[in-house]
Structure 1
Amino acid sequence: MECLNSSTVIKTTKTIYPQIYAYVTPDYKPNNGWIKIGYTERRNVDDRIRQQTQTAGISYDKLWYGPARFYNSDAWFKDKELHSYLRKFKDIKQRPGSEWFYYDGYPEQAQTDFEEFRRKDWSQAAKSQEYTLRAEQEDAVQKTLTYIAGNPKNREFLWNAKPRFGKTLTAYDLAGRMGAKNVLIVTNRPAIANSWFDDFEKFIAEKSRYLFVSTTDSLKERPVLTREQFVENPYKPDGTLAGYMAFISLQDLKGAISFGGPYDKLAWVKELNWDLLIIDEAHEGIDTLKTDVAFNNITRDFTLHLSGTPFKQVASGKFAETQIFNWTYADEQQAKAGWDETSEENNPYEGLPRLNMFSYQMSRMITDEVNKGAEIDGSNIDFAFDLNEFFETNNNGKFVHEAEVLKWLDTLTGNEKYPFSTPELRAELKHTFWLLNRVASAKALEKLLRNHPDFEKYEIILAAGDGKSDENDPAVTEKSLDRVRKAIHKHEYTITLSVGQLTTGVTVPEWTGVMMLSNVQSPSLYMQAAFRAQNPWSYEIDGESRRKENAYVFDFAPERTLTIYDEFANNLNRKTVGGGGTTTDREENIRILLNFFPVIAEDTAGRMVALDVNQVLTIPKVIKAQEVVRRGFMSNFLFQNISGIFAAEAKEVREILE
């Protein structure tokens, strides 16, 4: 019978044998500790291994092989799925661009990991750590539980807790004690997803009923589950049925059809009944119609709002005093100062730095422009200082007031009372965060800093807009926070320029100062940015351990500075919010805050002096009463006559105001 050519035979299928295999190359030293884990569809895996090793003349030892198929399932998988599991769930290092994994002398673990993957063991528990809530954290949980028990309706609660309170761990603890089965975490800042998963993995995963579910990009290399993976295997390793600990960004939620958006996704979020909805960074992006529509479509039994600066929420009157837990910066620093040193337990607040506000008069830094302005007497010209206009750019991307900006930089680095003027001061402020109003301004300032002789040692990171300095910059594709961390690791001195990125929910321990170069009026945005410098940091220099004790905020608009300071002291307090309470009440709040957050400003002689309560309250009122703030970026009154404010007696101030 004539044998038909294979090309003339109709045959639609081919038998394949999907298998995973592992081998080592003992005689090739560069691969010591590494195991090749690959995939083949051949019946004999050795045929595939020899293809890879014979050409190079390298001998191999096959360790194991097995079917690329999940146990008790008809579902097959490819090596890429296994590789992702090894990286994310087992924290195994993968050689870039290859199928080699580092098991460092424990080759048997590779097969164990393979078998666990086949069993869909999505264990999210790292080495479990015990935890004990601090007194204020326990207080937050207890107050919330008490409120829940006594209020079957209007079940919402606000934690007004400053950054570093430990909101993630405390919220997890509350969820467990509530008996919540399904928990949904929503935030306007998806970058903070890692903070939530870090605490879950470290403290919660092993001992709780939850599995962590999310598809946010920030967690794509972490051992989190998709909704589909959860549905396939909704069990903890001990066989108990798990509940959701789901993390979703507010942007994703608002984009879904089920929540008023155009995209077909996240329908399951609407279908589930959530025992607890946690709105993190609740001061951001929540007072819009789209957000209201989205949250109204979430069925839940209780809502917990988390914010370090909930000025709007407190002022709105939405939350009664019984619905708010407060833990402020002043509370934290009082606890730090009042810790019983005879206690066997170390002071848990010891590593939290003290904030210090330095407010400068820009006129002293760029005198020529002020004097020039003082000679002009026209109704359409005013010289109130406006940082946004000072850093305004033209169509060519250069500063409109470039000469003045350059003089400001010269003074910043040349006059000893300014923060970058001496090697000693620069050593104290190696890594700082500078906040501007526009992307164009940040780019223009980046260019000036790179060309300024006193900043030549600094690596400048542009965390603004798309983050590009030029089209060929490889950093374009990197996240801002990653670029900051890499730069700090590589360079002794860095400056991060931002127009809003990295101001909330991120931790860069090395930042010791924040430069306020924007005319931001929101106390929430201002203080969130200021707190970026207050993260604990310990490090070593020449074998000597150091710890950050102080963090600094540098501002160049005194009136704005003190107005926000007053709001920070009083507008997070139900009694004094919105001008409430007595004058004595407001003064006492500022007096307490000044003990732990001093304000240092220039007096008439240009000396830096600490302001008292009366000056904090009086200076902004007198400036406003004189109506000097109209247009432009210079105010002769504000800077040249500020001595009159310092010297004003109460009677004179009253006359001005009346």
Structure 2
Amino acid sequence: MTVEDLPADMVDEGLLVDDVEENVATSPSTPRRIYAYTHIGYRDIPWERETPAGTVSGVGRIKVGTTTRPTMVRIREQLITSFPNLEGVEVLLDEEAKRENGTYFGDAPVHRALKDAGVRRYAGEWFEATLDEVKASIVAVRHGQALMPGRTLDFPMRPEQDQAVAVTAGYLTANAKSKTGRATRFLWNAKMRFGKTFSTYELAREMGWQRVLVLTYKPAVHSQWRDDLTIHVNFDGWHFVDRDADAETMSALAAGDEPLVWFASFQDVMGRTDEGTVKDRNQVLYDIAWDCIVLDEYHFGAWRESSRELYDPVERALAEIEEPRDGVTEADLGLRSDNYLYLSGTPFRALSDGEFPPEAVYSWTYTDEQAAKAGYDGPDPSPYADLPTMEMYAYQISDQTAGLATEVGADAFSLSEYFRATKVKRGARADAPGAYEFENPTQVSEFVEMLRGKLVGNIKTLLRGSKDVRWPYEDATLKKAAKHSVWYLPDVAACYAMRDMLADHHIFSEYEIVVVAGTTSPTGAAAKPLVTNAIAHAVQDRKAGTITLTCGKLMTGVTIKEWGAIFMLRSLQAPESYFQAAFRVQSPWSSRETGDKLVVHKPTSYIFEFDPNRALGLVADYALRMAATGPEGETRTTVFGKLLRYLPIFRLEGGTMAPLDADEVLDIATFGVGAKALARRWNDAALVSVNEFTMKALLDHPDLVDALSQTEDFTNLAQSASKIVTATDVLKNARREKRDLDPDEKKEVDEAAKLRKKVREALQKFCAKVPVFMYVTDYREESLVDIITAIDSDLFTRVTGLTVEDFQLLNRLGVFNADRLDSAIYQFKKLEEKSLHYADGESAAVARRRIGLWGRTIEDDGEPAIGDDEARVPASP
């Protein structure tokens, strides 16, 4: 159609853009694309029209056309005169013009659908319409239906969604209340991004349900339940009702014949008036015989204490309001329904408690999803193409995680303590600059520098020798992924203290920093605009990116597609809380370019972890739950191996960062250290003390020095020890006098440092032989010192080359670090127990018994449980 074909009153002289007509084949088998665009001069023109439902108004005119060639080539032909470089042109839509039956359509039926809807056609193929109206017209033509305004989605179910619906429908039918006399219950253990909302509606269609009640512990998911029902073409004729509907509408829909979905929160439905009766607006819920009641985000009700961790600590009152006292059962609700469908991405407690028989559970895990993505061989585009893989990078920022605390809870590392902040300005608003400060700002400042690969202060000492390490804001790939990130902090105070520290930083001040915490920011989905607006401002102002600081908000039920990384800066203990937060950054983020090419903006998302033992324990626990719901015969190790294929874990330890295998992660999760790391620990300089005090003590025992000097490793020990002591005194004097060393003194100090290293390495050789001695000796319940000195002395001398007398004196002089050796021995014996069995077949890890450490013995309960905060040496009795 050309302009000449239009009625005269449809042409407005002066606003017509050149339209180069395309001669396209008319065969329905010829591939076509349908596109829509606008441009400067048209996109800001206001319009309005009258419809039976009232006045519809909008801004901007939209060109709708089809082509058999690349879309941008066609658009360039049309606009070559007015817009030579297409500057000011905005392509709004570009997709395949293909019907459900596989044939292709042109733009004429789309134009007719728009015209039939009362949309004014203007100057050729331009329409005064909203983009949603254009999308709805395309959807109607694609499915051969009448135009359904507002219904712009027509995507099909993915294979796993189709399977979930089929399995669930089969179970519900076979175990119907009419056959068993009781309501039927089914659980979907489906990870975030499975599409539980859309799949639930498809199940309702499959089952022929007319009345569905959705109850949720998290009202933030409201928009997803509403949009999937009201925008997708499959649910035309269904009605969505929530607490905002007026009583008259509620009653009319409840009494009508059309299918109805009622959305409500538990706290509202379970709430009562002062007289203890049901709220008036909810009374109708108790009058309806529901086909199905859906309990969304069920992990909150199944494990209330873990759900509370998703709230800001200062918002206990909000937690009391939003969380029921206990897990709600069907009997507690007092509602009538034939079926109950439970939905959760992390229903760990429900699974471990055996709430549902295996045949009443459908599981779709992260591993399932990524395996489907890797193995997909269907037609393009793949439904999994834009689902990111995940990687975890674990950085050890405390030596308390490198060794075990010697007493239960003593000096146990905690991120919540590491980032503890307090209010320093009484009476100031929480969001006032400087209202909060970290209790140890130097420590946190060093941490912030570490994220950029700049090691200073204590962090530099702790991570000495680190090489080939990828740091989040230094490595190019990681930095790009962290362009928009979320930092999960312990509490509101830490969020605002971190905001101020980053705002004053010469690099991080280039990011848009947004705090979503405390009473000054909204809750649930209402908090999302704070982040999306910050991202828009960062793009507009060309900032480095955004950093969202939270202590719970936005960590469940809300999706920010641009988030590519999460920094775990608080010590969560429950796997439900951890993975609800971690999977926030695994949301898809993609767009379509001309030619229908899918551009994935986030192929990989990242978890940056700074308490490795605790995190790996939670990951191992996740694998354990997956094994419990997976194929029969799968062990935790095999399940974990599959998980690590799609969620590789890199750990910084011993100066290098390397990927962990399944056994290594499980060892770390269970015992606090892996076999490889434990082997390195037995050559750790921290196991021995070579300083002026131990060297002076050695020089006070010339017989011991002479005896040691006879061995190759300790040649000239007396001279070395003397020089170490002398050089230390020289260095102390210079510091006391606040002066620099002269050249001779510097040479003396440098030589002493080399000698100290040589002596330390000689002692480390002894420590490296200790595991061999422990492995070959038969006495495991006695302390190592007792075994060496009184029980198996000859074996010790043969293995290490030291006499018992020499060892006893070295030990008394403090050369050996008992606490570090306690930790290393405990972990060695716990790992060893995996391959040791007593004669009666009982595993050594099962029996409660004495276990010998360096100079003491302890009572041991057996193998530490997966998920412990840290595998620690138990306290002495």
Provide the TM-score with structure 1 as the length reference. Answer: 0.69
Judging changes above 3 Å, is the alpha-carbon distance between structure 1 residues 651 and 270 closer, same or farther for their aligned structure 2 residues?
same
- Equivalent residue number for residue 590 of structure 1: 640
Instruction: For residues 519-576 of structure 1, give each alpha carbon's deviation from its aligned partner in whole angstroms, at most 9, with x where no partner exists.
Output: 11111111111111111112599x9955311110011111111111111112144368
- Equivalent residue number for residue 398 of structure 1: 437
The alpha-carbon deviation at position 421 of structure 1 amounts to: 2.7
Q: What is the letter of the counterpart of residue 661 of structure 2?
A: D
Q: What is the letter of the counterpart of residue 612 of structure 2?
A: P
The alpha-carbon deviation at position 189 of structure 1 amounts to: 1.6
- Equivalent residue number for residue 306 of structure 1: 343
Q: 1:452 aligns with which of 505, 512, 515?
A: 505
The alpha-carbon deviation at position 505 of structure 1 amounts to: 2.0
Secondary structure at the counterpart of residue 640 of structure 2: helix
Residues 33 and 104, structure 1, Cα contact 8 Å, conserved in 2: no
Residues 257 and 265, structure 1, Cα contact 8 Å, conserved in 2: no
- Equivalent residue number for residue 379 of structure 2: 344
Residues 461 and 495, structure 1, Cα contact 8 Å, conserved in 2: yes
- Equivalent residue number for residue 265 of structure 2: 249
Residues 302 and 349, structure 2, Cα contact 8 Å, conserved in 1: no
The 1-side partners of 2:197 and 2:170 are apart by: 20
Structure 1 portions without partners, runs of 5+: 1-28, 36-62, 66-70, 72-81, 95-102, 114-122, 217-224, 365-369, 469-474, 626-635
Q: 2:587 aligns with which of 535, 538, 543?
A: 535
- Equivalent residue number for residue 569 of structure 2: 517
Secondary structure at the counterpart of residue 398 of structure 1: strand
Instruction: For residues 563-606 of structure 1, give each alpha carbon's deviation from its aligned partner in whole angstroms, at most 9, with x where no partner exists.
Output: 111111121443689xxx98x711111011010111110131x2
The 2-side partners of 1:273 and 1:144 are apart by: 21
Residues 603 and 646, structure 1, Cα contact 8 Å, conserved in 2: no
Judging changes above 3 Å, is the alpha-carbon distance between structure 1 residues 130 and 263 closer, same or farther for their aligned structure 2 residues?
closer
1:401-420 maps to which residues of 2 (within 5 A)?
A: 401-415=440-454, 417-420=470-473
Question: Between Structure 1 and Structure 2, how many residues are aligned?
Answer: 521
1:57-96 maps to which residues of 2 (within 5 A)?
A: none
Say whether residues 1:140 and 2:180 are aligned partners. no
Judging changes above 3 Å, is the alpha-carbon distance between structure 1 residues 572 and 211 closer, same or farther for their aligned structure 2 residues?
same
The 2-side partners of 1:305 and 1:595 are apart by: 29
Q: State the identity as a percent.
A: 30
Secondary structure at the counterpart of residue 416 of structure 2: helix
Judging changes above 3 Å, is the alpha-carbon distance between structure 1 residues 293 and 527 closer, same or farther for their aligned structure 2 residues?
closer
- Equivalent residue number for residue 355 of structure 2: 318
- Equivalent residue number for residue 248 of structure 2: 228
Judging changes above 3 Å, is the alpha-carbon distance between structure 1 residues 291 and 560 closer, same or farther for their aligned structure 2 residues?
closer
The 2-side partners of 1:638 and 1:320 are apart by: 48
Provide the TM-score with structure 2 as the length reference. Answer: 0.53
The alpha-carbon deviation at position 191 of structure 1 amounts to: 1.6
Instruction: For residues 188-244 of structure 1, give each alpha carbon's deviation from its aligned partner in whole angstroms, at most 9, with x where no partner exists.
Output: 221211111221122257534x2111136xxxxxxxx54422445779xxxx83232
Q: What is the letter of the counterpart of residue 599 of structure 1?
A: I
Residues 570 and 576, structure 1, Cα contact 8 Å, conserved in 2: no
Q: What is the letter of the counterpart of residue 350 of structure 2?
A: Q
The 2-side partners of 1:263 and 1:538 are apart by: 44
Q: 1:211 aligns with which of 230, 239, 243?
A: 239
Judging changes above 3 Å, is the alpha-carbon distance between structure 1 residues 124 and 648 closer, same or farther for their aligned structure 2 residues?
farther
Residues 363 and 639, structure 1, Cα contact 8 Å, conserved in 2: no
- Equivalent residue number for residue 154 of structure 2: 130
Residues 406 and 819, structure 2, Cα contact 8 Å, conserved in 1: no
Judging changes above 3 Å, is the alpha-carbon distance between structure 1 residues 299 and 540 closer, same or farther for their aligned structure 2 residues?
closer
Judging changes above 3 Å, is the alpha-carbon distance between structure 1 residues 436 and 32 closer, same or farther for their aligned structure 2 residues?
closer
Judging changes above 3 Å, is the alpha-carbon distance between structure 1 residues 545 and 145 closer, same or farther for their aligned structure 2 residues?
closer
Secondary structure at the counterpart of residue 266 of structure 1: helix
- Equivalent residue number for residue 33 of structure 1: 46
1:469-508 maps to which residues of 2 (within 5 A)?
A: 479-492=526-539, 493-508=545-560
The alpha-carbon deviation at position 382 of structure 1 amounts to: 3.2
Q: What is the letter of the counterpart of residue 288 of structure 2?
A: L
Secondary structure at the counterpart of residue 157 of structure 1: strand
1:43-62 maps to which residues of 2 (within 5 A)?
A: none
Q: What is the letter of the counterpart of residue 440 of structure 1?
A: A
Instruction: For residues 129-159 of structure 1, give each alpha carbon's deviation from its aligned partner in whole angstroms, at most 9, with x where no partner exists.
Output: 4343222111111111111112123411000
What RMSD, in angstroms, separates the aligned Cα atoms of the two structures?
A: 4.4
Q: What is the letter of the counterpart of residue 419 of structure 2?
A: F
Judging changes above 3 Å, is the alpha-carbon distance between structure 1 residues 293 and 619 closer, same or farther for their aligned structure 2 residues?
closer
The 2-side partners of 1:244 and 1:488 are apart by: 37
Instruction: For residues 610-635 of structure 1, give each alpha carbon's deviation from its aligned partner in whole angstroms, at most 9, with x where no partner exists.
Output: 1111111111322399xxxxxxxxxx
Q: 2:832 aligns with which of 646, 651, 657?
A: 651
The 2-side partners of 1:108 and 1:423 are apart by: 45
Secondary structure at the counterpart of residue 453 of structure 1: coil
The 2-side partners of 1:127 and 1:424 are apart by: 39
Judging changes above 3 Å, is the alpha-carbon distance between structure 1 residues 463 and 91 closer, same or farther for their aligned structure 2 residues?
farther
The 1-side partners of 2:514 and 2:624 are apart by: 35
- Equivalent residue number for residue 276 of structure 1: 292
Judging changes above 3 Å, is the alpha-carbon distance between structure 1 residues 124 and 249 closer, same or farther for their aligned structure 2 residues?
farther
Judging changes above 3 Å, is the alpha-carbon distance between structure 1 residues 403 and 489 closer, same or farther for their aligned structure 2 residues?
same
- Equivalent residue number for residue 329 of structure 1: 366
Q: What is the letter of the counterpart of residue 515 of structure 1?
A: F
- Equivalent residue number for residue 564 of structure 1: 618
Residues 437 and 519, structure 1, Cα contact 8 Å, conserved in 2: yes
The 2-side partners of 1:517 and 1:142 are apart by: 41
The 1-side partners of 2:152 and 2:477 are apart by: 43
- Equivalent residue number for residue 206 of structure 2: 177
The alpha-carbon deviation at position 499 of structure 1 amounts to: 1.3
The alpha-carbon deviation at position 263 of structure 1 amounts to: 5.2
Judging changes above 3 Å, is the alpha-carbon distance between structure 1 residues 327 and 638 closer, same or farther for their aligned structure 2 residues?
farther
Q: 1:607 aligns with which of 656, 675, 684?
A: 656
Q: What is the letter of the counterpart of residue 222 of structure 2?
A: A
Residues 412 and 420, structure 1, Cα contact 8 Å, conserved in 2: yes
Judging changes above 3 Å, is the alpha-carbon distance between structure 1 residues 505 and 230 closer, same or farther for their aligned structure 2 residues?
same
Instruction: For residues 348-407 of structure 1, give each alpha carbon's deviation from its aligned partner in whole angstroms, at most 9, with x where no partner exists.
Output: 11111101111110138xxxxx89x99xx9979933210111111234232112211111
The alpha-carbon deviation at position 457 of structure 1 amounts to: 1.2
The 1-side partners of 2:246 and 2:477 are apart by: 51
The 2-side partners of 1:591 and 1:495 are apart by: 33
Secondary structure at the counterpart of residue 318 of structure 1: coil
The alpha-carbon deviation at position 453 of structure 1 amounts to: 1.5
Judging changes above 3 Å, is the alpha-carbon distance between structure 1 residues 355 and 172 closer, same or farther for their aligned structure 2 residues?
same
The 2-side partners of 1:501 and 1:638 are apart by: 41
The alpha-carbon deviation at position 317 of structure 1 amounts to: 0.7
The 2-side partners of 1:639 and 1:534 are apart by: 39
Residues 183 and 338, structure 2, Cα contact 8 Å, conserved in 1: no
- Equivalent residue number for residue 49 of structure 1: none
Q: 2:221 aligns with which of 185, 192, 209?
A: 192
Judging changes above 3 Å, is the alpha-carbon distance between structure 1 residues 189 and 204 closer, same or farther for their aligned structure 2 residues?
farther
Secondary structure at the counterpart of residue 434 of structure 1: strand
Secondary structure at the counterpart of residue 143 of structure 1: helix
Say whether residues 1:360 and 2:367 are aligned partners. no
Instruction: For residues 420-451 of structure 1, give each alpha carbon's deviation from its aligned partner in whole angstroms, at most 9, with x where no partner exists.
Output: 13566433311011112211121211111111
Judging changes above 3 Å, is the alpha-carbon distance between structure 1 residues 363 and 233 closer, same or farther for their aligned structure 2 residues?
closer
Residues 154 and 233, structure 2, Cα contact 8 Å, conserved in 1: no
The 2-side partners of 1:258 and 1:311 are apart by: 36
- Equivalent residue number for residue 55 of structure 1: none
